[in-house]
Structure 1
Amino acid sequence: MKVLDLGCGVGRNSIPIAEAIKHRNGKVICIDLLDSALTKLKEYSVKYNVEDVIDMEKADIGSYEIKQDEYDFIVAVSTLEHVGSEQIFENVIKQMAAGTKQNGVNCLIVNSEVEEIDLETNERLEALMEVNLLTDIMMSKLTSVYKGWEKVKRVIKPLEFTITRNEKRILLKTNAITYVVRKC
């Protein structure tokens, strides 16, 4: 089994996937732009004894080339909204679809309609997401790219949580889309 984790970070998804496929000669290809994330992923892969299963590559997921029919499973969790533009977003999901083998699965969790509000002043701030689409538009793009695929799971969950940015308490609101499909 060959897995691609786009925007892998420190391995929140890569490590458990690697543990699950370790004894089946699987590989998890982990892509991230941040050296600090990849350094921690390397450390965790050793700690959890999956360093032979994980291959790391420093790259921007917006320009990373996904080979055709290469992967059994592609995961992108809270990363696609950080590519450079809506056009790049569309290109990445098209590459994900093309890079998936027959009966392979794509699992995306992507945020839409992100709002940020300063809790002290109640001022609406510019959301720090490069791609911040209306939920209906995001779903339309996903449905179009994955037309003909089996829908395994589609959930839109409104979320709210408080974050700290520049020493200010910010309320972050989003519609988190979980979109899991299998290539038929």
Structure 2
Amino acid sequence: MKRVDMIRAEEKKYHDECYKQHKLFEKGSWLYKPVQTVLEMLPKIKEIENPNVLDLGSGVGRNSIPIAEAVKSNRGKVVCVDLLESAIENLLCYSKQFEVEQVIEPYLSDIEGFEIREQSYDFVVAVSSLEHVSSELTLKRVLTDMEKGTKPGGLVCLVINTEVTEIDLHTGESLDALIEVNLSTYDMIHELNPVFKGWKLVKHLVKPLEYNIERNGVPILLKTNAVTYVVQKQEGMS
């Protein structure tokens, strides 16, 4: 089995179990609430008539459900892309529960296989997902597609994990981090800046984070430098 296939198989097990054990917006997991930076951008999106939003790696709707609620009244649409069937199935259920099923447009696809059409979106979101494309070369292509796919005046909101490490909490052993693209924080920022050259930098921060997760019954400490990067395409840019 290729390393990428192995990582994705492990991530599928982890997420499928998480979606079974934890409900959206209930305390006890990272599904408890949407990303604060995404919420901060919603007033800008609500000013747009018929906004088109793209959530790459949407999961069960942690961010896309609140976005859909925000744009429902101005006839917006939220395109949600995820690789996992369990994510899309739960997303459909939650979209009905929160009465935004007419706003949510789900696609079962990996990020690199989804076509981002030029100047199609007012808001593009990718939270903890771009590091799961298959290679650094693919990351560059997807970032370029996101840049081209954003309308003038539109926003791109990224949260990307870098310098990810995993530690077995039983033994203290450092493990091979199960992440497809695990760049240094410096290298990731230097991937982003050239792609979005000329855009307005809205927010940029790097925050060290730690999570206790479980893989195959083994407790794992996952450490990461999470890069938050929000940029706005200037009017007049193609």
TM-score under structure 1 normalisation? 0.98
Runs of 4+ in 1 over 3 A off after TM superposition: none
Matching residue of 2:163:
113
Percentage of matched positions with identical amino acids: 56
1:129 pairs with one of 158, 179, 182? 179
| Structure 2 alignment gaps of length 5 or more | 1-50
Matching residue of 1:143:
193
Deviation at 1:123, TM superposition (A): 1.0
Q: Secondary structure at the match of 1:154?
A: strand
Give me the whole-angstrom Cα distance separating, in 1, the residues matched to 2:107 and 2:217.
Answer: 33
Matching residue of 1:7:
57
Give me the whole-angstrom Cα distance separating, in 2, the residues matched to 1:51 and 1:87.
Answer: 35
Matching residue of 2:144:
94
Bigger strand fraction: 1
Number of aligned pairs? 184
| Structure 1 alignment gaps of length 5 or more | none
Matches within 5 A, 1:21-100: 21-100=71-150
Deviation at 1:121, TM superposition (A): 1.4
Deviation at 1:34, TM superposition (A): 0.9
> Mean alpha-carbon deviation: is it higher for 98-107 or for 28-37?
28-37
Matches within 5 A, 1:151-162: 151-162=201-212
Bigger helix fraction: 2
Cα deviation code 1:21-44 (max 9, x no counterpart): 001010001111111110100000
Deviation at 1:132, TM superposition (A): 0.2
Give me the whole-angstrom Cα distance separating, in 1, the residues matched to 2:85 and 2:222.
Answer: 26
Task: Identify which of structures 1 and 2 has the higher relative contact order when contacts are C-alpha pairs closer than 8 Å and 6+ apart.
Answer: 1
Give me the whole-angstrom Cα distance separating, in 1, the residues matched to 2:119 and 2:106.
Answer: 20
